[in-house]
Amino acid sequence: MNVESEMNVKIYADGAALQHISELANDKAISGFTTNPTLMRQAGVDNYEVFAHKAIEIVSPRPISLEVFSDDFAEMRTQAMKIASWGANVFVKIPITNTKGESSLPLVADLTKNGVKVNVTAVFTIQQIDDTATALAGTAGSNISVFAGRIADAGIDPSPYVSRAVACSAAVGNCEVIWASPREVLNVVQADQLGCHIITVTPDLLKKLVNIGKDLGVYSLDTVKMFYNDASAAGYTI
């Protein structure tokens, strides 16, 4: 299956390695990009602004989400306004709460009124989804990132959460839902079936998307061949 032509869900590449971002910027199947401080640290980024400006330039005009990293709401606002000024394609990621569990939604509402395109991230609960939609009223463009993969890690079906967010986003207008932290290719299909607008995909998962719609009989034979070839290459005998 060709993801670009046969599915409505948009693929956003998730990562912080500039070389990989550059490669994917040439892929028409990639509609946007996301990153976060954890991914940046793992990629060895040591200067936030230098990285951000390079990434924005590489992916433009496609959207890219860059996250604030303060735990203080006043400083978060300062960071958000600065990040937003870096490009028309920039979405500012605001975590749903700070580390004390205090809601970030008053800040989200303030930024929204000031024309900042916000990506509300780390959204897990129905209440958070509903409250986020309220805070985004009048948005010029926004995302609600439902961490469906981590919800599933808790043994809970994320589908009702994503569906609720999709319905809320329709009521808000100019708002798209992101299926964040996917764990497998099936999640891409699930996101598409639920009408989710975007799914973030890591480099490892991107490589597997070519298997969507693959004939299972062919897949079975390919798997048998893999086992045989690896055993032969290892020179196993009994």
Residues designated catalytic: 93
196, 166 contact by CB (below 8 A) = yes
Tokens representing 44 are 């060895």
Instruction: Measure Cα distances from 78 to 71, 75, 90, 96 in Å.
Output: 12, 5, 15, 17
What does DSSP assign to residue 50?
H
Of the candidates 190, 188, 219, the one whose C-alpha atom is nearest the C-alpha of residue 31 is 188
122, 146 contact by CB (below 8 A) = no
The residue with tokens 């920039």 is 90
Q: In Å, how far from its chain's centre is CA 96?
A: 15
* 3-class state of residue 112 by DSSP: helix
* 3-class state of residue 232 by DSSP: helix
* Dist CA 110 CA 106 (whole Å): 6
> How would you classify the pairing of strands 10-14 and 198-201?
parallel
